[in-house]
Amino acid sequence: MASSEEDGAPEAGGDREAPRRRRRLGSLATAWLTFYNVAMTAGWLVLAIAMVRFYMEKGTHRGLYKSIQKTLKFFQTFALLEIVHCLIGIVPTSVLVTGVQVSSRIFMVWLVTHSIKPIQNEESVVLFLVSWTVTEITRYSFYTFSLLNHLPYFIKWARYNFFIILYPVGVAGELLTIYAALPYVKKTGMFSIRLPNKYNVSFDYYYFLLITMASYIPLFPQLYFHMLRQRRKVLHGEAVVEKDE
Ligand SMILES: CCCCCCCCCCCCC[C@@H](O)CC(=O)SCCNC(=O)CCNC(=O)[C@H](O)C(C)(C)COP(=O)(O)OP(=O)(O)OC[C@H]1O[C@@H](n2cnc3c(N)ncnc32)[C@H](O)[C@@H]1OP(=O)(O)O
């Protein structure tokens, strides 16, 4: 079920500029992006298999995060390159949208789940892990097949439909995990800087987490509506005007 993009002809109802844009990409950039997307698809697939195997063997989510954390940290951190891809112009995506998306994930991985051990067994961690994993397998395989001009319709369909449920579920998982971390952060004062000190600077990680949670209110709808616009453009061929472009 390969799409009609194979011969460079525009797809019915798709983005008619996409094949032309891809042809303009240099062969080095295309080779790099293909390698990057294949590696990321494989990485998130390994993570998915590890999670399913863990649950089948242990019958509980307790200990799941610990068992997959190295793979998760590696591949999610590797995604920082997506900001670089936008900055150097090899993908036609907004730096702002990608920056918010990637930095919120890096924050969740390193400054919340990795750093605050008592929350690693929360059910909410499983919520965001599953949402991220399904999303990323779909997204990176979408990019890979698009670059190879052999995009099966079901992958395109999945890329622009799964997020409708997975995005709110992932965000709920992230917010509940931060919420679960609050008492520990308050009790230990971790990552906080108290006055007096020689630099005369104070920082309270507990309030930083509260502000981060509040920032989902304006930022998440923007990402969600961005994806809805992309969905209309790619699946229904509607022209879309992005505010930050
Ligand atoms: C320091 C503390 C910070 C705290 C911040 C707190 C606020 C956070 C609020 C936000 C919360 C987000 C939470 C999030 O982590 C939750 C989840 O992810 S849950 C799981 C569900 N998630 C999703 O579905 C994610 C959806 N998001 C995305 O897909 C992308 O990340 C996004 C950047 C948002 C959108 O993608 P994009 O605009 O790029 O759309 P397209 O995929 O259609 O791509 C457009 C064109 O670019 C080409 N492209 C892009 N990347 C590549 C690539 N790697 N290789 C090749 N080509 C690429 C793509 O093919 C399109 O090209 P064309 O138009 O020519 O076809």
Q: Is 238 noted as a catalytic residue in this protein?
A: no
ipTM, two decimals, is: 0.95
Position 94, amino acid: S
Which pLDDT score is estimated for 26?
Answer: 86
On whether the CB atoms of residues 146 and 77 are closer than 8 A, the answer is: no
27 CA to centre of ligand 1 in angstroms: 23
Q: How far is the CA of 55 from the centre of ligand 1 (A)?
A: 28
Residue whose CA lies nearest to ligand 1 atom number 33: 98
- What local confidence, expressed as pLDDT, does residue 10 receive? 39
DSSP category for residue 9: P
Phi, psi of 106, deg, nearest 5 = -60, -40
Closest-lying ligand 1 atom to the alpha carbon of residue 103? 3
Residues with CB under 6 A from ligand 1: 15, 18, 21, 33, 37, 91-93, 97-98, 100-101, 103-105, 107, 131-132, 135, 139, 143, 146-147, 163, 166-167, 170-171, 174, 212, 215-216, 219-220, 223, 226-227, 230
Whether the Cβ atoms of residue 100 and residue 225 lie closer than 8 Å to each other: no
Q: Which of 65, 140, 174, 205 is catalytic?
A: 174
**What is the pLDDT at residue 20?**
58
Q: Is 65 marked active-site?
A: no
CA of 98 relative to ligand 1 center, distance in Å:
6
Pocket perturbation via mutation, ligand 1, pick of 101, 115, 132 by most ligand atoms within 8 A of CB = 101
The residue ranges of the chain whose pLDDT is under 50 are: 1-14, 244-245
23, containing H or E segment: helix 18-24
Task: Give the predicted TM-score (pTM) of the model.
Answer: 0.90
Q: What percent of the chain stands above pLDDT 70? A: 87
DSSP 110: I
Q: How far is the CA of 101 from the centre of ligand 1 (A)?
A: 7
3-state secondary structure of 245: coil
Placement of tokens 């990176």 in the chain: 140
Closest Cα to residue 85, out of 43, 36, 40, 24?
Answer: 36
What does the pLDDT read at residue 180? 98
Q: Output the residue whose Cα is nearest ligand 1's atom 66.
A: 18
**Residue range 133-165, pLDDT digits in tens:** 999 999 999 999 999 999 999 999 999 999 999
Is the bond leading into 10 cis (omega within 30 degrees of zero)? no
Active-site option among 167, 179, 184, 224: 167
pLDDT given for residue 17 in this prediction: 56
Q: Which pLDDT belongs to residue 14?
A: 44
